Chain A
């Protein structure tokens, strides 16, 4: 599953961030998961817990907090701001899978519920990112 690749990115980035802040042992990571990519939170946490000690021993045992961030999309044509529920109701399995792999493909499959334009910005809730790294020096 490609979540493994994303989790590896989180672990490597967390380690680099910890080193940049002079942290030797990492005790807690806060990771945000954007709604648009439809990454399942429990599954991602399991994978991340598996990947962290493989990346570096200093990541082993770190507490993990995962937050889900709702997707917010803004139409360039009419200015309407909308969420995924407003436009993805009838999305089929294949388009949902495509957006799961490459969230920007929302632009190919979704449109503004107010005006129908496919030209919208992904304001929030796109993918997976690191919010916070805590540890001891």
Chain B
């Protein structure tokens, strides 16, 4: 017998979290972290109690969008995410700083289980999770361990992205993970590609976020970020589909 004691308490750590929204898509560079961070920001600005968990161990960057501090979290019978800008935030970047975190699959799973087992989120209306690219360990472990997880897919109109996100949606259907909807990001011109992707997968199309040339200038400044065209559009989507 050598059972891992950590998975047994993950449900307890999340028992006061009303909804878990995991942002995925499968492809890198399509704006998952931006959508996750800004979704957390929009929900917090609308009065929600919000957590943001960055599970992209290789390239954690959700904090960069909102200018969140990366000091060590406090300890109180577990790790307690510091609340910043109305968001309780947790990332591997708290512990690794700028060091490269290059993990093989088994280590990815173990680090993810550790975080889920020891972080005390407390009472939240929404825990938004930023998932890394790919259909590997993190997504599979999220599905396995977050029994109330709901998935929000991000895509762009590029045929390359659509093909990858389609695979992600197929996987989520196979493992019977609930998909909330699909959001088109970085829209430059009208296109039915992402709406068509959602329709073909039988999941709701939540709408589009325009390509915003000023997004980069707003990095690290939540007020400026909230005023961007992309975040404004996301706020409307959040209000329509996620608010009670």
Contact = CB atoms under 8 A, between A and B. Distances in A.
Partners in one complex: yes
Contacts of B13: 5
A76 to B, nearest CB: 8
B1 A133 contact: yes
B190 interface: no
Nearest to A109: B99
Interface string A16-51: 110000000000000010000000000000000000
Contact of B110 (A32, A94, A126): A126
A9 interface: yes
A120 B101 CA distance: 13
B95 A8 contact: no
Nearest to B6: A9
B77 A1 contact: yes
B103 to A, nearest CB: 6
Contacts, number: 109
Q: Which range contains the number of B residues in contact with the other chain?
A: 35 or more
Nearest to A32: B2
A127 interface: yes
A119 interface: yes
Q: Which range contains the number of A residues in contact with the other chain?
A: 35 or more
Interface stretch (A57-65, A80-88, A96-104): A96-104
A2 B118 contact: yes
Q: Is the interface of A mostly helix, strand, loop or mixed?
A: helix
Interface string B1-45: 111111111001100000000000000000000000000000000
A129 B4 CA distance: 5
A65 to B, nearest CB: 14
Contact of B3 (A6, A94, A121, A130): A130
A128 interface: yes
B107 A107 contact: yes
A129 B75 contact: no
B105 to A, nearest CB: 11
B136 interface: no
B3 A5 contact: no
A102 B111 contact: yes
Contacts of A6: 5-6, 117-118
